[in-house]
Structure 1
């Protein structure tokens, strides 16, 4: 299956379990791998025959900005659900990173892989 990859997309979201995390939005990073059929787009060279990754990125930013989840896992699931609702993908792999949250680690991340209606 063909893939579109978006790496290092910076988003902001109110996320965290602790009170001090709930006072301001946090910068997070998203890496997405979207499994899609790109054959028609490769033949036609027409943006209408592919998945518009700019619109995907915009959707991810909007979902994150509006969310108030405590857990990265919950935000990741929400983002994936919104992607499946608006775009034709065979599978989505999402890595959601929260850098600098642990003093002795550069990053903490969750990776979730889903197929539609899973």
Structure 2
């Protein structure tokens, strides 16, 4: 199966369990692996025959901007739901990172993999 990768997508979202996290949006990073059929796009060289990376990024940005989840797991799941609803993707692996949230760790992340329902 073919794959599209988007790595290090920077977004902001109101997310967190603690009161101090709920005062302002936090920076997040998204890494994606989209499994889909890219054979037609490879033949036609037309963006309409592939998954438009910019539209994927916009979709994730909308979900992050509107959300007020406490957990990364919940936000990541909502992002997967949005992508499956909007694009012809067979399987998605999404890693959602919350950098610099722990004083002694560079990053905290969750990774979810889901197939089209």
TM-score (norm 1): 0.98
Compute the RMSD of aligned alpha carbons: 0.4
Shift of 1:116: 1.3
Structure 2 gaps of 5+ residues are: none
Secondary structure of 1:101's counterpart equals coil
CA distance in 1, matches of 2:45, 2:87: 19
CA distance in 2, matches of 1:46, 1:21: 43
CA distance in 2, matches of 1:26, 1:91: 27
Aligned residue runs from structure 1 range 9-20, under 5 A: 9-20=9-20
Count of aligned residue pairs for this structure pair: 117
Structure 1 gaps of 5+ residues are: none
TM-score (norm 2): 0.99
CA distance in 2, matches of 1:67, 1:116: 23
Name 1:2's counterpart in structure 2: 2
Name 1:61's counterpart in structure 2: 61
Aligned residue runs from structure 1 range 1-118, under 5 A: 1-117=1-117
Shift of 1:13: 0.2
Secondary structure of 2:43's counterpart equals helix
CA distance in 2, matches of 1:53, 1:89: 12
CA distance in 1, matches of 2:106, 2:48: 39
Q: Which runs of 4+ in 1 moved over 4 A?
A: none
Deviation per CA, 1:41-100, whole angstroms, max 9, x where unpaired? 001111111111110000001100000000000000000000000001010000000000
CA distance in 2, matches of 1:101, 1:76: 17
